[in-house]
Amino acid sequence: MVNKGFAKHYYLMMLPGLIWLFMFSVLPMFGIVIAFQDYNPVQGMLGSKFVGLDTFEYMFSLNDTASIFFNTIFIAVMKIVGNLIIPLIFALMLNELRHMFIKRSIQTIVYLPHFLSWVILGGILLDIFSYQGPVNQLLSAFGFDPVLFFGRADLFPFLVVGSDIWKEFGFNTIIYLAALTGINTALYEAAAIDGASRQRMLWHITLPGIRTTVILLAVLGLGNVLNAGFDQIFNLYNPLVYSTGDIIDTWVYRAGLLNMQYELATAVGLLKSVAGFILISLSYFLAYRFTNYRIF
Amino acid sequence: MVYEKSARSKIFDIVLLVVLISISITCILPLWYTLSLSLSSKSAAAAGAVALWPVGFNLNSYVQLLQEGQFFKSFWISIQRVVLGVALNFIVVPLMAYPLSKTTKDFKMRNVFMWSVLFTMLFNGGLIPLYLTIKNLGLMNSIWALVLVGGAQTIVFNIILTMNFFRNLPSVLEEAALVDGAGPWYILYKLYIPLSVPVLATVTLFSIVYHWNEFLYGLIFMTREEFYPLQTYIQQLTVAVDPSSMTEDQYKRMSELSNRTLDAAKLFIAMLPVLAVYPFLQRFFIHGITLGSVKE
């Protein structure tokens, strides 16, 4: 049926995109060799001497390495769990709402923070939680001492997770709501005739109806265990909270671009890329096995 | 749908409504607070007197903003970046998505290309190799570094969304066009693109928001402030101090010294474009995301 001569048009269509991706995604991959070199900026990647795995040995001898990996995973795991559960609860509540206009309005409002950058939201949060900001004003009105929220290493990871959930819960609700609308309404009608209460419907119809979606999102979350959110932390942190708030990406930025430790930063970045690639591939594979999900 | 109309159920509805409205208020309250702060007097802001309404209403911070040349330079760079980025995204994404939406029967190399393109999304060289690549390509301080690097990382996701949408279009349409003698370019531009408004609107919104919000590439690829896009410019306001060492007192003093009303005005102006395009495009994106990504 299809004309075989079309293939050359298909190649032509893909050409601009392939060149674009090659120049700005594939070409940088060759820069990975720096991790195995004693990199000299003057001689470049081609002229620098290869030193094998020396940089990796050095990396594992640093105390920083263990703590940045721990911080990354700790923050990321809390985010994955929170971003799975809170939107689910929110979607279930929204689904119980009967006024369509109010439902739409609430949705429109809660999606909004997702579209604002962490530069903007970081600026707003730092002001709100600052020493003389509204949160501390409120605390002092109740007789509490002001707290330097974003200067406290012990609070920092939780503020990061909390603010991320606040920013994203509305947007993450979309998938759940789509799954909820996919449930056959005849089931609810039948249950109502049998005299089931709303709680019973929730337990026996709604939750089983979206079980696959929850499993799918949980499995896909696995791929993000090393992504604790560069933009957010970069815009919220300061030297006081490096001990608990420094993640792989922020550390790579500082070590590589500010302190010019090119080899070390590349090596850490490479380790993250490889581990991340394996985790994402694994999560896609598991999602396909358990829920028949395919990205394409 | 049939509902029980007991008093208990009604109370439940009211409680639910109150909870949901309170949650959605928390999503806009910080934005509202920022607006109020930007319209307040400096002394009221410093005293922490501003809560929900501007105290000592004035437009001084906006007047001050108008006099700051760099803010508008950066604003203009961001506008250019969004226009170029969205245009390129709009050209390249459908062009790549169309051949990739074919089966291997129609386009033999389809899977090879699909996996290569996907690989660039799942694996990357890391920050340092990317930085060195851009430097070697001579794109430092060029707006093309911002447009092309960011674009290369976001088009793959957009291609997958669009491709999945194309695949769900009824195949009889294309067959009918083929019978009438249409070629691949004609089918793409006269048939597929007009039918794909929801997904193309979604992808465009993502592209606008991404290019408007991105700040890191502005920070690392632009060595002079005059080339900073808006988000980078705003980001730099908050980290003007030496980040390598800081005590708690310094951090506290830094947050007290900042010009809170002016910063608030900058943050508010920086979020205006997103607030402006969002209501027009949001009715598309829910449709676009769920159609393109979740398959039963």
Radius of gyration of chain A (CA): 24
Write the Ramachandran bin of A40: left for phi over 0, alpha for psi from -120 to 50, otherwise beta: beta
Minimum distance, in Å, between the CA of residue A256 and any CA atom of chain B: 6
Minimum distance, in Å, between the CA of residue B1 and any CA atom of chain A: 6
Residue A202, number of CB atoms within 10 A of its CB? 14
Question: B60-286 — its CATH code?
Answer: 1.10.3720.10
Contacts of B100 in chain A (CB under 8 A): 14, 296
The verdict on B89 touching A (C-beta cutoff 8 Å) is: no
Residue A108 has pLDDT above 90, yes or no: no
Tokens of B92: 């390249």
The verdict on A256 touching B (C-beta cutoff 8 Å) is: yes
Calpha distance B275→B287 (Å, rounded): 20
Question: pLDDT at position B290, please?
Answer: 60
Q: Tell me: the pLDDT tens digits for A125-174?
A: 988 898 878 888 888 889 888 888 888 889 999 999 999 999 999 988 98
Site of tokens 């990504």:
B293
The verdict on B194 touching A (C-beta cutoff 8 Å) is: no
Minimum distance, in Å, between the CA of residue B43 and any CA atom of chain A: 12
Q: Residue A50: beta bridge partners?
A: A37
Cα atoms in the 13 Å half-sphere on the side-chain side of A214: 17
Q: Which of A57, A64, A56, A65 is nearest to A35 (CA)?
A: A56
Question: pLDDT at position B251, please?
Answer: 67
Q: Tell me: the pLDDT tens digits for A81-105?
A: 999 999 999 999 998 888 888 888 8
Question: pLDDT at position A277, please?
Answer: 93
Whether A94 sits inside 8 A of B20 (CB atoms) is yes
Residue B287 has pLDDT above 70, yes or no: no
The residue-averaged pLDDT of B59-64 equals 83
B-contacting residues of A 167-196, CB under 8 Å? 170, 174-175, 178-179, 182, 185, 188-189, 192-193
Split at pLDDT 50, 70, 90, the class of B3 is low
Facing residue for A262 by CB, picked from B105, B128, B163: B128
Question: pLDDT at position B295, please?
Answer: 42
Q: Which site among A42, A117, A126, A222 would you substitute to test the B interface, given the most B Cβ atoms closer than 10 Å to its Cβ?
A: A117
Question: What pTM did the predictor assign?
Answer: 0.88
Tokens of A31: 């820069």
Whether B133 sits inside 8 A of A179 (CB atoms) is no
Site of tokens 């997904």:
B199
Residue A73 has pLDDT above 90, yes or no: yes
The residue-averaged pLDDT of A284-296 equals 83
Tokens of A268: 């850490």
Residue A14 has pLDDT above 80, yes or no: yes
Whether A29 sits inside 8 A of B213 (CB atoms) is no
Split at pLDDT 50, 70, 90, the class of B296 is very low
Question: pLDDT at position B61, please?
Answer: 82
Minimum distance, in Å, between the CA of residue B250 and any CA atom of chain A: 10
Residue B80 has pLDDT above 90, yes or no: yes
Question: pLDDT at position B286, please?
Answer: 67
B-contacting residues of A 203-222, CB under 8 Å? 213
Split at pLDDT 50, 70, 90, the class of B293 is very low
Question: pLDDT at position A182, please?
Answer: 84
Whether B122 sits inside 8 A of A170 (CB atoms) is no
Minimum distance, in Å, between the CA of residue A148 and any CA atom of chain B: 8
Q: Which site among B27, B36, B128, B267 would you substitute to test the A interface, given the most A Cβ atoms closer than 10 Å to its Cβ?
A: B128
Higher pLDDT pick, B281 / B195 = B195
ipTM comes to 0.88
Q: Where are the domains of chain B?
A: 2-47, 60-286
B-contacting residues of A 54-93, CB under 8 Å? 90, 93
DSSP notation for chain B: ------HHHHHHHHHHHHHHHHHHHHHHHHHHHHHHHHTS-HHHHHTT--SSS-SS---HHHHHHHH-HHHHHHHHHHHHHHHHHHHHHHHHHHHHHHHHTS-TTT-TTHHHHHHHHHHHHH----HHHHHHHHHHTT-TT-HHHHHHHHHHHHHHHHHHHHHHHHHHS-HHHHHHHHHTT--HHHHIIIIIHHHTHHHHHHHHHHHHHHHHH--HHHHHH--SGGG--HHHHHHHHHT-S-TT---HHHHHHHHHHS-HHHHHHHHHHHHHHHHHHHHHHHHHHHHHHHHHH---
Minimum distance, in Å, between the CA of residue B73 and any CA atom of chain A: 18
Calpha distance B67→B261 (Å, rounded): 15
Contacts of A96 in chain B (CB under 8 A): 13, 16
Q: Where are the domains of chain A?
A: 66-121+152-291
Question: pLDDT at position B252, please?
Answer: 65
Tokens of B83: 């226009």
What rounded mean pLDDT belongs to chain B? 84
Minimum distance, in Å, between the CA of residue B158 and any CA atom of chain A: 12
Q: At a CB cut-off of 8 Å and minimum separation 6, what does A179 contact?
A: A209, A210, A212, A213, B294
Split at pLDDT 50, 70, 90, the class of A4 is low
A-contacting residues of B 58-87, CB under 8 Å? none
Split at pLDDT 50, 70, 90, the class of B291 is low
Cα nearest neighbour of B188 on chain A: A13
What rounded mean pLDDT belongs to chain A? 88
**Backbone phi and psi for residue B245, each to the nearest 5 degrees, phi listed first:** -140, 135
Q: Tell me: the pLDDT tens digits for A225-245?
A: 999 999 999 999 888 888 898
Lowest-confidence segment of A11-25, B57-71, B210-224 by average pLDDT? B57-71
Calpha distance B39→A135 (Å, rounded): 19
Question: pLDDT at position B289, please?
Answer: 60
The verdict on A122 touching B (C-beta cutoff 8 Å) is: yes
Facing residue for B267 by CB, picked from A123, A213, A254: A123
Q: Which CATH class is domain A66-121+152-291?
A: mainly alpha
Whether A21 sits inside 8 A of B117 (CB atoms) is yes
Q: Tell me: the pLDDT tens digits for B257-282?
A: 567 888 888 899 999 888 888 777 77
Split at pLDDT 50, 70, 90, the class of A57 is confident
Q: Tell me: the pLDDT tens digits for B15-46?
A: 999 999 999 999 999 999 999 888 887 777 77
Cβ contacts below 8 Å, chain A against chain B, sum to: 310
Q: Tell me: the pLDDT tens digits for A170-207?
A: 988 988 988 888 888 889 889 989 888 888 888 888 89
Facing residue for A120 by CB, picked from B1, B163, B267: B267
Question: pLDDT at position A136, please?
Answer: 87
Kindly state the DSSP code that residue A32 receives in the 8-state scheme: G
Cα dihedral sign, B135-B138-B140-B145: negative
Write the Ramachandran bin of A14: left for phi over 0, alpha for psi from -120 to 50, otherwise beta: alpha
Q: Tell me: the pLDDT tens digits for A22-35?
A: 999 999 999 898 88
Q: At a CB cut-off of 8 Å and minimum separation 6, what does B6 contact?
A: none
Split at pLDDT 50, 70, 90, the class of B284 is confident
Calpha distance B11→A96 (Å, rounded): 13
